[in-house]
Structure 1
Amino acid sequence: MASPEIEIAQLSEEQQQALQQFISVTDLEPATAVPILQRSHWNVPIAIAKFFDGESVDSVAEDLAAQNVPPPRVARQENLQDSFLSGSSASSRSGPQNDDAPRIVPQPDNQIATRPNFIIGLIFAPFSLAYRLISLAFGFISYFLPFLPRTFRPNLTAGTTRQANISGRRALKPRDAAARLKREIEEEYGGNTVPFYEGGYAQALDIAKNDLKFLLVLLTSPEHDDTSSWIREALLSGEVQSFISNPANEIILWAGDVRDSEAYQVSSALKCSKFPFTALIAHTPQQSTTSMSVLTRLTGPMPATTYIAKLQTAITTHSEQLRTVRETRNAQNFERNLRQEQDSAYERSLAQDRERARLKKEAKAQAAAEEKRAKDAAEAAANLIEKRNQWRQWRARNVIPEPSADLPDVVRIALKLPEAARIIRRFPSNSGIEELYAFTECYEILHHGSLDNTAVKPDGYEHKFDFRLVSTLPRVVYDPSDVGTIAERIGKSGNLIVETILDEDDDE
């Protein structure tokens, strides 16, 4: 059943911390991690167990998780006869069977029980004592009156919810606890070249699983007399340090002090009964549901040569299996990389085809635009020529007729045209310079008699003369927009040259 989507901002602070811890271990997306945590009542260890081992989790553990109570550790009860029978039955099975390597998730910071301040503890001591006495009284009464509600019954599992820190050792995060143990060994025993993994047990287990390496778990307890001598004589000996540091053995060494919370949980999960304790863990997908199994356990002090021989035997026995898995994984990675390269090549080829199609389309659109622009320019030029001719017909019809030579107010102008033709014409003295330009512009129409008497002035057209009238000595340019009559500007007579005005493109 699909669970509704929940935004992370809507979760409480404890739920967000549980979500971050669960994601850091499983590498899931928040949308996938939230439903698993909801089904586990936001208990991270149960959610991780569901993720790695499936959804078949004990219902009692889920009920306790719903009440924020971690599931109690089941006590193992057996006698010597049961142990002998179980051992003989296990040995009768076909082939050696390795135990599954447990996955230990550190307890969240908000669930770690810390020792209160001495003054605060002293102040609240009477209240704590009264609470214990009242709880004891209610527990005694509820024992004889079982029909009382559950609220008045004592919580028999309360003592197992958290591990009390009675040693006075400060609780740290897994990475900090590993760094502290390494520092303590260096300070107490001197020089140390053993490559301790400075991180949590879960991270070391994941690295060993992903990189197909051997995880060497070392658990120590300072309360045992043999621990100090074994570390000095065996662990820090040159043979053991060289063996663990040898890259060919592919060993990841994780060490823990059972006084720390994570190391204590690991020792309980690995069924540690004697210190110093060593467990060799490796990837065994055919023999383990979690794909990580304990290959061998070494308990108690032993000489360095014996310690190395037992580890070497277990490593040699399992190296072939790891090599097979590594070759299979490399082949899968090669196939995956090959598919990715093929997909990338296809995507590049597709992108090139798209780019060529885009350039072709742009070139076609640009050619069409250029063709349309040229067509529009040609139409505009033809329209301009048509309006120019219409204006010339209209202006030729409105040119002032040439006055008689007998009239007193007459100006005689000689025009030298570009075609070497010389024209002499009389104009009224009160005519403007523009009349000279209009006559020159319309001379051919007037001279050849191709005048259209029905022509009208074109709308929206402003005529521009493509020539200018110039006198030579001295050189004076007469503009059609000049103010004044012909008589005022030129005099009773004048010789003018018609100079063609060339555009910049024509000049070039």
Structure 2
Amino acid sequence: MASQEVDVGQLSESQQLALQQYTAVTDQDVNSAIPLLQRSQWNVQIAIAKFFDGEGPDPVAEALAAQNTPPPRAGRQDNLQESLLFGSARSSSTSRSRNTQDDAPRIVPQPEDQVVHRPPFILSLLFTPFSLLYKLFSSSFGLFSFLFPFLPRLLRPNTATSTGRRSNTTGRRSLKPRDSAARIKREFEEEYGDNTLPFYEGGYAQALDVAKKDLKFLLILLISPEHDDTSSFIRDTLLTPDVQSFVANPENEMILWVGDVRDSEAYQVATALRCNKFPFTGLIAHTPQLSSTSMSVLTRLTGPMPAGTYVAKLQSAITAHSEQLAAVRATRSAQNFERTLREEQDSAYERSLAQDRERARVKREAEAAAAEQEQRALREAEAAADLAEKRKQWRKWRAKTVLPEPSPDDKDVARIALKMPEAARIIRRFPSDAGVEELYAFVECYEFVTLGVELESVPKPEGYEHKYDFRLVSTLPRVVYEPENGGTIIERVGKSGNLIVEPIKDDEDED
């Protein structure tokens, strides 16, 4: 056995790593730590247990440490990607990984008794007699097994399976993880009274995912009511004010998950974490030095212990690992800040782009409206010019068909005095059979009829319906003579009359 003046530089890599882990947990000086590690065959767990619990005789642990045989490990639940990426690294550093934290597997229990296979309806009807006989036989066999309890054990000697599950012999109903957590909390309060422990109301897999996502410490507590130390540990250690305040302190960033090994999920967790003594406490946290998604067991506390020692060990493990989690939190915070900033920049760019698109749309609509207005004005001008051209053509055509004025010797005529809009007063004689429309045509074509202009023979415009933009009225009393009413001039006006040519205004047309 080496002396206490052993040079640290002369130690091997695994011994230096064990010394570093031991001093980080116990905060003991190097000169005192090296002899204790040497007496523990450089096994960190045994040395830490001796430091806190006293260096009593432990021949089994000493023999295991001397033989350097690693403890049995539970089946790992790795995915293919992690196996491909980190398989070679793990195989090359096997000796070093034995001294580091063990991985905390993610377990999603699927109890077989929760899977219900329902046969088709027709088959269930066919097998109903057999089902009744089976139930009758089962009830009879249950009474028989109660009278002779040794027979079921002889018929079924192996109740445990190699997959880590065990048959339910306690009569405890198997529930889903969330319901099972609620039941444990209720039973805990009924047995030990009210407490301030922050029980996580969910399954182990959910608690592990929350701890990984939020970078918190997951405190696993596995209890077995059949164990003698369970009741004393809960009353004298777990429910003390110091432990309750430590676990419930939000500054410790801790999630508490309690499992009863009588339940399927807690039993599988105990098997995966290699728990062989109860009550068992495990502190799990994210270990970024291994991988970006790994969760490892930082410390294991088994059996009863004083509340001060229990809190000191948990606090030591949290303090040793808090710096790594703080670095990961800072990295995630920076990444979230960059992501938020990038999202805000993208959102501002999208808003600016939307404003540009809106301005471009408004501009296009304004240009389209202006072009449409211009086209409409052009069409209206063309239509007005075409209407004026057809109106002039109609007036020329109608001037050629206006009845000539009768001779002065003709007595059967109508003599009409017309007051024109240009303040001119003219007198015109019309035949006795001339209608009122003839009088309107004379006024409309007056410039072509009375001026003696030689008119060319023009055809009547096609698709044109002439409307007079004036009316002929008489005063005292006021009478309007519309051409649509028909009748001759003599019948409507008389042989003589004074009429006023009154233009029709636009507002009157609209009315």
What is the TM-score with the length of structure 2 in the denominator? 0.73
Matched, 1:452 2:455: yes
Matched, 1:329 2:332: yes
Alpha-carbon distance in structure 2 between the residues aligned to 1:273 and 1:48: 20
Conserved? CA contact 2:288–2:328, under 8 Å: no
How big is the shift at 1:120?
A: 4.5
Q: Which amino acid in structure 2 is aligned with residue 423 of structure 1?
A: I
Matched, 1:199 2:213: no
Name the counterpart of 1:29. none
Alpha-carbon distance in structure 1 between the residues aligned to 2:244 and 2:375: 84
Alpha-carbon distance in structure 2 between the residues aligned to 1:196 and 1:328: 29
1:142-153 alignment runs, 5 A limit: none
How big is the shift at 1:276?
A: 0.7
1:186-335 alignment runs, 5 A limit: 186-287=189-290, 290-335=293-338
CA separation of 1:170 and 1:111: change in aligned 2, threshold 3 A? closer
**Two-structure CA RMSD over aligned residues (Å):** 3.1
Conserved? CA contact 2:197–2:248, under 8 Å: yes
Name the counterpart of 1:21. none
Name the counterpart of 1:67. none
Q: Which of 436, 440, 455 is 1:437 aligned to? A: 440
How big is the shift at 1:233?
A: 2.0
Q: Deviations over 1:193-231 (max 9, x none)?
A: 110000011111111111111000110100001111211
Name the counterpart of 1:53. 82
Name the counterpart of 2:5. none
Conserved? CA contact 2:160–2:166, under 8 Å: no
Q: Which of 412, 424, 427 is 1:424 aligned to? A: 427
Gaps of at least 5 residues in structure 1 are 1-45, 59-88, 128-155
CA separation of 1:190 and 1:317: change in aligned 2, threshold 3 A? same
Secondary structure at the counterpart of residue 448 of structure 1: coil
Secondary structure at the counterpart of residue 298 of structure 1: strand
CA separation of 1:169 and 1:288: change in aligned 2, threshold 3 A? farther
Secondary structure at the counterpart of residue 450 of structure 2: helix
Name the counterpart of 2:482. 479
Q: Which amino acid in structure 2 is aligned with residue 50 of structure 1?
A: N
Name the counterpart of 1:342. 345
Alpha-carbon distance in structure 2 between the residues aligned to 1:364 and 1:47: 71
Name the counterpart of 1:123. 137
How big is the shift at 1:341?
A: 1.6
Alpha-carbon distance in structure 2 between the residues aligned to 1:341 and 1:202: 34
Conserved? CA contact 2:111–2:264, under 8 Å: no
Q: Which amino acid in structure 2 is aligned with residue 455 of structure 1?
A: V
CA separation of 1:425 and 1:309: change in aligned 2, threshold 3 A? same
How big is the shift at 1:408?
A: 3.2
Q: Which moved more, 1:341-350 or 1:383-392?
A: 341-350
Alpha-carbon distance in structure 1 between the residues aligned to 2:372 and 2:457: 39
Q: Deviations over 1:76-106 (max 9, x none)?
A: xxxxxxxxxxxxx98x849951100111012
How big is the shift at 1:405?
A: 2.8
Q: Which amino acid in structure 1 is aligned with residue 336 of structure 2?
A: N
How big is the shift at 1:288?
A: 5.4
Q: Which moved more, 1:224-233 or 1:286-295?
A: 286-295
Alpha-carbon distance in structure 2 between the residues aligned to 1:101 and 1:345: 44
1:158-169 alignment runs, 5 A limit: 159-160=161-162, 163-169=166-172
How big is the shift at 1:167?
A: 0.9
CA separation of 1:110 and 1:47: change in aligned 2, threshold 3 A? farther
Alpha-carbon distance in structure 2 between the residues aligned to 1:456 and 1:208: 100
Q: Which moved more, 1:284-293 or 1:188-197?
A: 284-293
Alpha-carbon distance in structure 1 between the residues aligned to 2:140 and 2:132: 14
The structure with the largest alpha-carbon Rg is 2
How big is the shift at 1:160?
A: 4.1
Conserved? CA contact 2:418–2:425, under 8 Å: yes
Alpha-carbon distance in structure 2 between the residues aligned to 1:47 and 1:371: 80
How big is the shift at 1:56?
A: 9.8
Q: Which amino acid in structure 2 is aligned with residue 504 of structure 1?
A: D
Conserved? CA contact 2:399–2:442, under 8 Å: yes
Alpha-carbon distance in structure 2 between the residues aligned to 1:185 and 1:202: 21
Q: Which of 495, 498, 502 is 1:499 aligned to? A: 502
How many residue pairs get aligned? The number is 402
Secondary structure at the counterpart of residue 463 of structure 2: coil
Alpha-carbon distance in structure 2 between the residues aligned to 1:335 and 1:402: 101
Conserved? CA contact 2:108–2:205, under 8 Å: yes
Name the counterpart of 1:63. none
Secondary structure at the counterpart of residue 427 of structure 1: strand
Name the counterpart of 1:139. none
